[in-house]
Amino acid sequence: MSRPLISAVIPTYKRPDVIERSVGSVLNQTWRPLELVVIDDGSGDDTPKVLESFVPRAKAADVSYRFVTVPNGGAGLARNAGVEHSVGAMVAFLDDDDAWRPDKLEKQAPALTQSEAGVAYTRYVHQGHEDKPKPPQSALAEGWVFEQVCDGRCRPHLQTLLVKREVFQKVGAFIAARNFQDSEFCLRAALEFPFVCVREPLTVIYTQESSISRSAGLEGDLRRDALKLKVLEDFGQKFAQHPRFSAKALRTFRARIYDEHIKHLLWSDKLEEAREAHKRALEECGELEILRKLKGKLTRARVMGWFGLKMKKP
């Protein structure tokens, strides 16, 4: 039986100086047949010229390669364009500044094709911290994992995912939100398909100052928190009647986001807003342990304020 074609999708935006790392790691994969689709998300610079330069290298590596420029719409919509332009039986995703280990797909594909799962994920490392793979062993759940994705016992990182094409046909594409679209996709997929995990760290994440996750400091964090809470609220309304949906589990996910949000407010010296957010979280999510623990932080922040001090981000 011939091995199925895998399509690797890389969205890129104004990163012509670093994209060789991600493209090169795909071309160096040991799995064949392999397709690489790079979506230039309206960079408006010399990105197309850089992408054109990879054509001979892709041909020498026996990788089907194409790149497409689309109007700027964010990474989620760019990934959707990549899926639409790809033809593989399975699709994997990589950001333009990160890299896969050479045997990533070679080890991951059998785990997916030899199971009933629709999604396979692996562990990963941050560059410079290769001895500290993530997520922890306690967060590598498999099977029907909707509740585990909500409570953190399953933490599938987008750049480690390998997804059967039928998953997209069943649950649809990434939402247009510029952040959190990966988590929302995993929630939808977990309602319809089991997940399987390869417990090796096969992706390397590099930190870039211009990355979405680091932009605008704590103010950026607060905006992303609000977006995440809205995405989860919309998700709950849309899928409330699904047989595998759990309102309790989704409340736990919202509580985890509120926990981050309240800490971001405290680190921003916005104590009153943090107290209001905590009250709102208790009303919406209930007396969950993660929210009860925040009471001590709120008290400590208030006491520090009496002395002109504020809490700092660890």
Phi and psi, residue 270, nearest 5°: -115, 70
Residue 203, pLDDT score: 98
Residue 314, pLDDT score: 73
CATH of 6-205, one of 2.70.150.10, 3.90.550.10, 2.40.110.10, 3.40.47.10: 3.90.550.10
Q: What is the per-residue pLDDT across 14-55, written as a single tens digit (0 to 9) for each?
A: 999 999 999 999 999 999 999 999 999 999 999 999 999 999
Above 70 in pLDDT, residue 216? Answer: no
Q: What is the per-residue pLDDT across 47-71, written as a single tens digit (0 to 9) for each?
A: 999 999 999 999 999 999 999 999 9
- How far is the C-alpha of 84 from the C-alpha of 89, rounded, in Å? 12
In the chain, domain spans:
6-205, 216-306
| Helix intervals (H) in 131-246 | 146-151, 165-171, 181-192, 217-239
Residue 268, pLDDT score: 94
Buried b (16+ CB within 10 A) or exposed e, 48-80: bebbeebeeebeebebbbebebbeebbbbbbbb
- How far is the C-alpha of 99 from the C-alpha of 205, rounded, in Å? 7
pLDDT band (50, 70, 90) for residue 207:
confident
Are 84 and 76 in contact by the 8 Å Cβ rule? The answer is no
**Averaged over 268-279, what is the pLDDT?**
96
How confident is the prediction for the chain on average, in pLDDT?
Answer: 95
Total-model pTM: 0.93
Residue 215, pLDDT score: 45
Residue 123, pLDDT score: 98
Above 70 in pLDDT, residue 213? Answer: no
For residue 14, count other CB atoms closer than 10 A to its CB.
17
Alpha-carbon separation of residue 207 from 93, 179, 238, 260, 269 (angstroms): 17, 17, 35, 20, 26
Where is pLDDT greater, at 221 or 211?
A: 221
Strand partners, 35: 7, 64
Give the closest residue to 40 by CA, choosing from 81, 90, 83.
81
pLDDT band (50, 70, 90) for residue 175:
very high
